[in-house]
Amino acid sequence: MRLWCAGQLGLGLFAVGVFSGAGAAAQTMVPPGNLGPQTWTKAGSPYVVTGEVTLESLTVGPGTVVRVDPIDVAPNAYVFVTGALNVEASLEDPATFQPNGADAEAIWRGIIAASANITGGVFRFAQTVRTSTGTMVVRSSIFEGGADALAAFGANLDVDRTLFLVGTVGIHTSGNQTVVVKNSVFQSRRPQAQSGGALDASGTVSITNCTFDGLRAVFDGSGTTLVTNSIITNSRSVSRAASAGITVAHSLIWNVADRENINVESIVDGDPRYVGPSDLRLLRGSPGIDSGKSEGAPDHDFAGRARPQGSGHDMGAYEYDPASSGGTSGGTSGAGGLPGGTAGAMTAGSSGASSKAGASNGGSSGFGGSSGFGGSSGFGRGGAAPTTTGGAGAGPGQTGGSTSNGGASGLEDAKERDEEVETASCGCRTHRQGRAGWLLPLTLTVLWFGRRLRARS
């Protein structure tokens, strides 16, 4: 084996290849220091960041992979962007940002940019992706783990069709800005008693057609928040902020122990009948179907499917479509099967095996007719009582969720939360989370099927 260096590429980047009998693999080393405008592509991937780097601007194309040394290897390996961060990809061919090295769940510092437009980005275990000016637009992306996974400190925020596999906080905002989130899913990576919160927000917050599941506290912060056409399930509390103005209207709340600190209007209290504990689409007969408010509702759902499909708009991130539904069985016999069939058809799978705590993912047939998540052993969160949604009950002895008072913009404002370590260099939160990596391919497949359905219509 021998190494080669192709020489300097552009502004300080080096392409390095490793030759062996099987061929060559290339990577682009990003040296610490100040660099000019950057465009990173699939051809140069992976881009490896080993120390603090400051870029004038950064554009990242589809299929690009960026690897950053984790905190325990490079404590100051931030990616600072003094101008705009533009991620121009899709979840069919995403731009992926992840820790470098053998530990796929190691926390790395993250990206701090002046402004950002992100489409098709997958951010795995970044401490934060943060902006401070303008409006940060996020579409069709995934944020897994992280302390403040997506943060806007002084910037407005506009999020659509995005999955948050919550570590500590999914979205954190600070300042008197506008926050709009629609057609998005917030789901805990860990059991409810150890989970975090969906939003810690200030300013004016609008949440429409979102699904929140398995969280310790869904909302926190001092913002004025209106939640519409959404589903909140299997969580300890809706809000921890007694002083915040939070109104939940035309939404479904189920298996949530603490509903204090909120104003409610036209609430549905019933099991939403999810396809499974990791598949938050709705089964036939769900009380969330056709029960939403049409005024202000988006014209599409998380998968890109048109709304409405029935006589009215559905609640939650997914619009129910009988032609592409999962199974129809539920209760103690397990949630309905995951999509099966051939040629990408989304037909019903068989019902799952018996489960006493909603632990079965249900269904023996998986995507494309192959064996999938089926079986009786699945992702159970435990809790007080069995539920058909496979979520946790509000078990005794569970403590409250994280809390935050917002704070001024900058690197020094983040606060320590439970089980977290506040690092001296930036005050940012760190947290190691449990495994839920299999939720990523599930989400990618659902979105791919949504695109196929739109192409056929």
In a domain, 378, yes or no: yes
Cis status, amide bond into 308, omega within 30 of 0 = yes
Predicted pLDDT of residue 308: 96
| 63-96 residue pLDDT tens | 999 999 999 999 999 999 999 999 999 999 999 9
Kindly indicate the confidence band of residue 322, based on its pLDDT and cuts at 50, 70 and 90. confident
Predicted pLDDT of residue 452: 54
pLDDT mean over 290-294: 96
In a domain, 12, yes or no: no
Residue 222 reports pLDDT greater than 80: yes
Q: Which one has a higher pLDDT value, 8 or 436?
A: 436
Kindly indicate the confidence band of residue 443, based on its pLDDT and cuts at 50, 70 and 90. low
Lowest mean per-residue pLDDT among 14-28, 86-100, 152-166? 14-28
| 168-179 residue pLDDT tens | 999 999 988 999
Q: Which one has a higher pLDDT value, 59 or 340?
A: 59
Residue 14 reports pLDDT greater than 80: no
Under a CB-based contact definition with an 8 Å cutoff, are residues 379 and 405 in contact?
Answer: no
In a domain, 105, yes or no: no
pLDDT mean over 17-27: 49
- Strands (E) across 167-278 are located at 169-174, 178-182, 185-188, 197-200, 204-208, 211-213, 217-220, 224-228, 231-239, 245-249, 252-258, 263-265, 274-276
| 151-162 residue pLDDT tens | 999 999 999 999
**Mean pLDDT of all residues in the chain?**
74
Domains held by the chain: number: 1
Q: What is the residue range of 151's domain?
A: 125-456
Q: Whole-angstrom Cα distance, residue 17 to residue 333?
A: 53
Predicted pLDDT of residue 56: 98
Residue 16 reports pLDDT greater than 50: no
Residue 148 reports pLDDT greater than 70: yes
87 forms beta bridges with 60, 118
Q: Give the three-class secondary structure for 367.
A: helix
In a domain, 44, yes or no: no
pLDDT mean over 243-263: 88
Kindly indicate the confidence band of residue 221, based on its pLDDT and cuts at 50, 70 and 90. confident
Residue 457 reports pLDDT greater than 90: no
In a domain, 141, yes or no: yes
In a domain, 67, yes or no: no
In a domain, 224, yes or no: yes
Predicted pLDDT of residue 88: 98
Predicted pLDDT of residue 321: 86
In a domain, 434, yes or no: yes
